[in-house]
Structure 1
């Protein structure tokens, strides 16, 4: 385990963004598989012409991997680079360390929380039209409406859990975790947090879809 961690840290130092992107992509994929299992959102496919098989290899799984590796990671990587190399450089006093943590919690965490909620809302509620009636303006409005609704319903809860988890994780890491294991520790922490948040959002949005379907049916009958 120690040798694997050492090798991982070597790659992280040599190829920071690429290593982080691959790691985040893997964890985001696992996140989607676990949350889909908990919320019972399987895809059913027919194999050999007659056997129905339930599985997790869906478009949502691919989009979550894309989110973790190509969206969340570059954003966090560059924001933390600015914080660590532009705003807080060199040896820091206790006050400086506290200010650095607060800066991270008040900038990076809210931005990533907003991105996460928006992405989950889109992959759960938006379907791209591919027919001749496709209207880019109409689709853009639809995307904006879905993102706004998702942020309104889920952003506060996700931000709150992210802030609390980040704060206590930093305290635990500084007190009990060797610095060389911080990367692995935070990857595991945010995997658990992301899975919890994804599951909660899936349940909420599933409930909203059912309520909307019920309203649509009542309108047709009325």
Structure 2
């Protein structure tokens, strides 16, 4: 067994034993990398003075917020939605028709919900700064930021997510061994998330000009 196969087998064991925790940690790490790469690509650098020298970096509150999003928001939502679909609605063994219905159910429910959560969160961390207004005013500001973000970026993100998810499922079924599916999909969604985050950052930069 190769080193990669051993690591994958160990990871799958953790997924089975500690599903939500393992997924949360994995997604949190990938979201952190996602934010780091997209910040570099869009030139969102910070400057810190260390030993009298100004150093550019991408470590920011946004990075922490993306890790929080991946670990504590996206992962629990997807984990429990997929659990309902795979264990309550469609119970193995499945016929070919049921497998198709299972995929369509996932694409028509989980994907739109996660896309809305992603766009809303990105909009908030890029365009909302807590003020000193009363709670009602702050909630209205949050609503406006999220509403604007969804209007401008939701359907683009949803389209990309649907196409990527469908393509990934087809590729996985034909070319990827089942024991490598978890790693494969993590990699696919990491690349997709980085692309979407970068696209949204650039779009929101244009909107602020």
Pairwise CA distance, 1:164: 0.2
Report what 1:205 is aligned to. Answer: 204
Whole-angstrom CA distance in 2 between matches of 1:195 and 1:90: 33
Secondary structure of 1:90's match?
Answer: coil
Report what 1:104 is aligned to. Answer: 106
What is the TM-score with the length of structure 2 in the denominator? Answer: 0.97
Question: What is the aligned counterpart of 2:47 among 44, 47, 50?
Answer: 44
Pairwise CA distance, 1:134: 2.9
Question: What is the aligned counterpart of 1:83 among 61, 82, 85?
Answer: 85
Secondary structure of 1:89's match?
Answer: coil
Report what 1:8 is aligned to. Answer: 11
Runs of 4+ in 1 over 2 A off after TM superposition: none
What is the TM-score with the length of structure 1 in the denominator? Answer: 0.92
Gapped regions of structure 2 (runs ≥ 5): none
Give the CA RMSD over aligned residues: 0.6
Question: Which whole-Å deviations, capped at 9, do the CAs of 1:37-74 have from their partners, x for residues lacking one?
Answer: 000001111112x2101111100000000000000000
* Structure with the greater alpha carbon radius of gyration: 1
Whole-angstrom CA distance in 2 between matches of 1:32 and 1:180: 28
Report what 1:140 is aligned to. Answer: 139
Report what 1:69 is aligned to. Answer: 71
Question: Which whole-Å deviations, capped at 9, do the CAs of 1:165-185 have from their partners, x for residues lacking one?
Answer: 000100110111111100000
